Structure 1
């Protein structure tokens, strides 16, 4: 009985340990600072997490499909710089679709390399991280971008506007999460993504076009990155050309925290949203208790390690390795 209880507790922690830790973090931060659970603070955290969240939605498809995408941070910088630059040259009505087209082209290129050429996704996207960063610097001439006449443009509605008091970034994040959640859980394409990530060889033998499925997961990821770039540019109406640098690790942390397996074949959009909020509220709580912003980087690293450990533990049914 004691052994069964031990295994039951271990199995529960392996599956739900991050959520238990999140509840403890929330309770602890709320006790230390009552402002943590204030409505304005909660809305502020969700709004500030929306850009990261939108990117994480797309990466969820890639990870469930059994691959990685480490290029999303650089690609977000590229999208932000491009739409700001084209805003003054073409106007926002043309700049937005042009930026989406260029970003989707990058996603299609990555999808072709990983899906059709069967190249390792870690190597490809790590290389593209540097390549797209160089492309961004080349496009901007090494300079930051700003909209010339910030008062005369309607471009700021995406990042600064609201509907019925709800900020637009939250609305767009929620709508995109709902649409992609339905796509992943209720359509044949979503089932194919799970099949390819769970066992790519078996999926191919079953008649599922593995290369095409992987290709479209990267297109979805690129679309989400372009949306995040639009939100970032619209919110600030100007940007540094390294605005997305390092975000790929935070995005991956949020996806894994939400339960998506690095081995592929497991995860949901809804749980990714939860993972994004976990990171957002932990970062906010650390700031409210007086810790410096750079402490967030250490905490993010700890969370990534913990999430990967729990992911592996869930696969083997115990927290500790049987060899240990």
Structure 2
């Protein structure tokens, strides 16, 4: 291979390393099982990944802004329980905006603590993880929630419906990803998010309102969590009060797998979508090849580490760091 060809390959991997990894995973699993690329299987994987994906879209803003949000799992449980409970008390027309309002209040509270009071986002959101879980249990009385008359409600459309043959959860995921991609990549606010995450001090001295930008990243995250809770509640018309427990780690894994840096300042919505799909298709592919569910966790972790390692290696042009 000539030096020019090697440089071209290196540039391709540097720019689209995670996308190349995604294609490789798809090829390997397609060879291992012919059902993997069946339309119904692909649609099913994307549909089942929509809830995780919607949450990851909001967390992408938070991470690019240089912070973390470990409260999204508990917040998703809260939004799901609230909308199910209010459905029977107020009806879906009022329950949905009420749930969004309460979830946005939680996001705003976190945004004030991290953005304006400048508290450590890891500590704040870790504490909020427990606090919101307690709030969810208090709201539900420690019980699971179910809609009383599941046959008479139109609420199921968000999780079970389809439009022109496309499942509604996939449409919501795609539309939200497209809208947030435009916000992050094409608006002054998006540029400010990158600036704050890349160098908060320099951004502040340049006139960027750091506190306000961080505050709104948490509002966006809360909005996405509320949307995910709506889909989750609508899909089953009932839920355990711990439905989102542990999802914060999967969401963060998808965002980092998509190339966003924990140090802030880098990442895109599109690559987060790819990270979500990689997680979904890896789990599906391992299931189709007959791997036991408990072994899938280990293999998934190994594949994630390899994908991130190769992506980073491609960007620096070598597999190993030059620093011992």
Which TM-score applies when normalising by structure 2?
0.93
1:138 aligns to 2:141 (yes or no): no
Correspondences of 1:189-228 after superposition (within 5 Å)? 189-228=189-228
Cα RMSD of the aligned pairs, angstroms, is 2.2
Question: Displacement of 1:14 after TM fit?
Answer: 6.1
Deviations 1:258-302 (A, max 9, x none): 111111111111111111111111111011111233334324433
Structure-2 separation of matches of 1:263 and 1:313: 17
Match of 1:42 in 2: 42
Structure-1 separation of matches of 2:13 and 2:268: 19
Q: Any stretches of 5+ residues in structure 1 without a counterpart?
A: none
Structure-1 separation of matches of 2:194 and 2:235: 35
Structure-2 separation of matches of 1:74 and 1:238: 17
Match of 2:29 in 1: 29
Question: Displacement of 1:8 after TM fit?
Answer: 7.9
1:280 aligns to 2:280 (yes or no): yes
1:252–1:186 Cα change, 3 Å = same
Deviations 1:26-58 (A, max 9, x none): 112111211100011111111111111100100
Q: Any stretches of 5+ residues in structure 2 without a counterpart?
A: none
Which TM-score applies when normalising by structure 1?
0.93
Structure-2 separation of matches of 1:264 and 1:156: 37
Match of 1:101 in 2: 101
Match of 2:185 in 1: 185
1:310–1:128 Cα change, 3 Å = farther
Match of 1:61 in 2: 61
1:276–1:259 Cα change, 3 Å = same
Question: Displacement of 1:130 after TM fit?
Answer: 1.2
Question: Are 2:84 and 2:237, in contact at CA under 8 Å, matched by a contact in 1?
Answer: yes
Correspondences of 1:80-119 after superposition (within 5 Å)? 80-119=80-119
Structure-2 separation of matches of 1:106 and 1:311: 35
Match of 2:292 in 1: 292
Structure-1 separation of matches of 2:255 and 2:98: 28
